[in-house]
Structure 1
Amino acid sequence: MATIAEFDRVGLRYGTGAEVLRDLDFRLARGGFYFLTGPSGAGKTSLLKLLYLAQRPTRGRIRLFDEELSEADRDALPAFRRRIGVVFQDFRLIRHLSAFDNVALPLRIAGGSEQEVEGPVREMLAWVGLADRASARPATLSGGEQQRVAIARAVIGRPELLVADEPTGNVDAAMATRILHLLTAMNRLGTTVVVATHDLGIIAATPGAQLIRLENGNLVDPTGALRNPPVAAR
């Protein structure tokens, strides 16, 4: 069974405080689409940070891309991160860069030449409906436009895993639907997608997606489906 991520009794605490995540034990199927839900303070953002390697677990083991991360050297982590796209709740666009340059940033960091960057970035901006806003800086973009720039930046490198933290939290219903279409399109291309959300509407609009529910730092999975996930049909 092909999996992209495996958590084995993972716990996380910040400093000397109480654990914010406890005994997480689940697998994500390669090519799957997952919604991460739960009340505020349940630990959703902390779980996402573990997935995109912004945090390492306090205890337990995480296996990602068939590699045991507890045994990975810190110098090896950037190579793993390049295989992951992240859409942050607060966008985290670089204010002094245009939409084009924000989207181009991952390709430039990876060493792409301007000739290699130009075409893919223009194509990606057109894909998210922002071809005519390429030169605009974040301050002149609406919240929905900034979110689409953030999504374009996250997927420009064709990540194997895409993690999105409340991607529809700051937009209206029509824009939320458009953003969901972008995420499901990436999933159809083979990317595993994990979306943290409170939006029951986008969950209902995505048949076939699985739920990961957290409550007080604990995984709620009464069916065991996350422990033995089905391989996504392609």
Structure 2
Amino acid sequence: MSGIVTFDNVGLRYGTGAETLSDVSFTLHPGAFYFLTGPSGAGKTSLLRLLYLAQRPSRGMIQLFDEDVVTLPRDRLPGFRRRIGVVFQDFRLVPYLSAFDNIALPLRVAGVEEHDLAAPVLEMLDWVGLRDRATARPATLSGGEQQRVAIARAVIGRPEILVADEPTGNVDPEMAARLLHLFDVLNKLGTTVVVATHDIHLLSRVSGAGVLRLERGRLNDPTGALRHPPGGGGEA
């Protein structure tokens, strides 16, 4: 099975300080579910930023969709980013837009005509259980509702990869379980999912998920999960 993402000896350094990430190598397989875990400050957010092309590495090779993205011309980056959905830790909803319009934003950016927006956006609102909050602005939504809008916005373009940075960090355990279920459903539809979390109790909630553990900027892979597809597959 070929990888949808490959990191090979990737290092990341901000400025002249010590490396935040060092010699990071792994392969993510299409249609698989992964948790990225590790203590605070281990480099999880930095790794995710490399994954969704918000940052270029200081060294090493990164391939996405069978192309080297380290040397990819900048004018091709937007097309790659549209294939990746991102749920940010701080939601990043547009405060003056309704839930409907926040979710519709990626489609508008992609040039979808206005008359074609309603059906997919309302479907997403139904999927996250917020149809009755379609006209609400972020300030009037609870933290869990804002998170669900952010998830709907991230997946409305049917991304090939979904990246979520601590998506359950600001919600209660019941809502955390509900959000994780949404990611699991999306994964079963074929999207490769990467969820960063410091909550080790979540790791057993998705059957067959792979676990990438970062410690001081390096990946620790004692089970070989990065060399084999999750769910018991063979060599990549």
TM-score category (smaller protein): over 0.9
Aligned 8 A contact 1:10 1:24 in 2:
yes
Aligned to 2:147: 147
Deviation at 1:230, TM superposition (A): 5.2
Equivalent residue letter for 2:5: A
Cα distance in 2 for partners of 1:72, 1:196 equals 26
SS at match of 2:117: helix
Aligned 8 A contact 1:31 1:232 in 2:
no
Cα distance in 1 for partners of 2:135, 2:232 equals 38
Alignment of 1:1-234 (within 5 A): 1-229=1-229
Aligned 8 A contact 2:208 2:230 in 1:
no
SS at match of 2:164: strand
Deviation at 1:200, TM superposition (A): 2.2
Q: What TM-score, normalized to structure 1?
A: 0.97
Equivalent residue letter for 1:160: E
C-alpha distance after superposition, 1:137-159 (max 9, x if no partner): 00000000000000000000000
Q: Which consecutive unaligned segments of at least 5 residues does structure 2 have?
A: none
Cα distance in 2 for partners of 1:122, 1:204 equals 32
Cα distance in 2 for partners of 1:231, 1:3 equals 15
Sequence identity, in percent?
Answer: 70
Deviation at 1:232, TM superposition (A): 8.3
Equivalent residue letter for 2:152: A
Cα distance in 2 for partners of 1:132, 1:151 equals 17
Instruction: Please provide the CA RMSD for this pair.
Output: 1.3
The aligned length equals 233
Inter-CA distance 123–232: structure 2 relative to 1 (3 Å threshold) = farther
Equivalent residue letter for 1:113: E
Inter-CA distance 76–83: structure 2 relative to 1 (3 Å threshold) = same
C-alpha distance after superposition, 1:123-142 (max 9, x if no partner): 10011000000000000000
SS at match of 2:4: strand
Cα distance in 2 for partners of 1:156, 1:149 equals 10
Deviation at 1:231, TM superposition (A): 8.0
Q: What TM-score, normalized to structure 2?
A: 0.96
Q: Which consecutive unaligned segments of at least 5 residues does structure 1 have?
A: none
Inter-CA distance 232–222: structure 2 relative to 1 (3 Å threshold) = closer
Equivalent residue letter for 1:185: V
Deviation at 1:202, TM superposition (A): 2.0
SS at match of 2:25: strand
